[in-house]
Structure 1
Amino acid sequence: MTTTEISLKMVFDRWYASIKSCDTLLDNLSNENLQKEIAPGKNRGIYLLGHLIAVHDDMLILLDLGEKLYPELNEPFIKSPDKAVVQLPLAAELRSFWTNQCEVLKQKFDSLKPEQWFERHTAVSAEDFAKEPHRNKLNIIITRTSHLQYHMGQLVLLK
């Protein structure tokens, strides 16, 4: 294996292990559990699930892999705080979105060649990327893995 292949394997092993852990956690939380607040006055589980889907949806744009699957989730789960939007999708619908999105992301990720992961993502200009080549597509996976794990740490409090 080349250094590039080893680096990619390390990052994606962590990404897919985090996705699997989140799937297991979600399987152990009922739809009623997702309606609960993580702590008094804090986000509900359903909001965090919708937020994760919306953030992962943005990855398609950032990685130049296509359009969002669920653009309707941007307003209630990224632009608005929990409880600001009265009508959210049902937990069962969000679970379905999560599963589908994880499958689509895997297919899209698998379509990229190793060297493409070190190209700039769409939120960085060519000029800035020339100065900061670490602002690449692979870095998006790293930061989103940390983001997912952070929110999983919150969701586990619902058990």
Structure 2
Amino acid sequence: MNQTETSVKIVLDRWDASIKNLDALLNNLSDATLLREIVPGKNRGIYLIGHLIAVHDDMLRLLDMGEKQYPELFEPFIKTPDNVNTPMPSITDLRKMVNEQSVYLKQKFDKLSANDWYEKHTAVTTEEFNSEPHRNKLNIIVTRTSHLQYHLGQLQLLK
């Protein structure tokens, strides 16, 4: 394994472990628990789950892997702050979406070679990428893993 392959493996292993941690945590939190606010006046667990799905869904576009699976989640979980009056899918549906999305993303990720991960993502122009080659597909996974870890920490507070 060369240095490029090793670097990609490190990043993707951390992503995979974070997704497994999310799955394990969701399996240990009841639907009633996910309806609670993390702390008074802050997001509820259900909102954070929908938010993570919507953010991860956008990775498909950023990584040039196709269209979003759940575009209907953008409005309630990205554009709109958490509000009990905002219509959103059930926790059962969100749990199913998280599982399906994890499998789907893994299939897409597994198709890329180590070198493919160092190509530009779709939110950067060719000119920008030429001067900032770190703005690549692998960097999207790094930032989304950090984002996932942040919200996993919040969800832990519901235990």
What's the TM-score, normalizing by structure 2? 0.98
2:110 maps to 110
Q: Provide the rounded CA distance (Å) in 1 between the counterparts of 2:73 and 2:84.
A: 13
Q: Provide the rounded CA distance (Å) in 2 between the counterparts of 1:86 and 1:13.
A: 35
Q: 1:1-159 counterparts in 2 under 5 A?
A: 1-83=1-83, 86-159=86-159
Give aligned-pair identity as a percent.
65
Letter in 1 for 2:148: L
Q: Provide the rounded CA distance (Å) in 2 between the counterparts of 1:156 and 1:114.
A: 33
Alpha-carbon distance, 1:86 to partner:
2.3
Letter in 1 for 2:127: E
Q: C-alpha deviations, 1:12-46, integer Å up to 9, x for none?
A: 11110000011000000001110000000000000
CA contact (8 A) 1:76 1:85 kept: no
Q: Provide the rounded CA distance (Å) in 2 between the counterparts of 1:72 and 1:23.
A: 22
Equivalent residue pairs, number: 159
CA contact (8 A) 1:54 1:77 kept: yes
Deviates more, 1:52-61 or 1:75-84: 75-84
Alpha-carbon distance, 1:7 to partner:
0.3
Query: Match of 1:92, SS?
Result: helix
Deviates more, 1:49-58 or 1:112-121: 112-121
Q: Provide the rounded CA distance (Å) in 1 between the counterparts of 2:94 and 2:8.
A: 29
Q: Provide the rounded CA distance (Å) in 1 between the counterparts of 2:125 and 2:12.
A: 25
Flag as ranges the 4+ runs of structure 1 deviating above 2 A: none
Runs of 5+ unmatched residues, structure 2: none
Alpha-carbon distance, 1:53 to partner:
0.0
Alpha-carbon distance, 1:73 to partner:
0.1
Runs of 5+ unmatched residues, structure 1: none
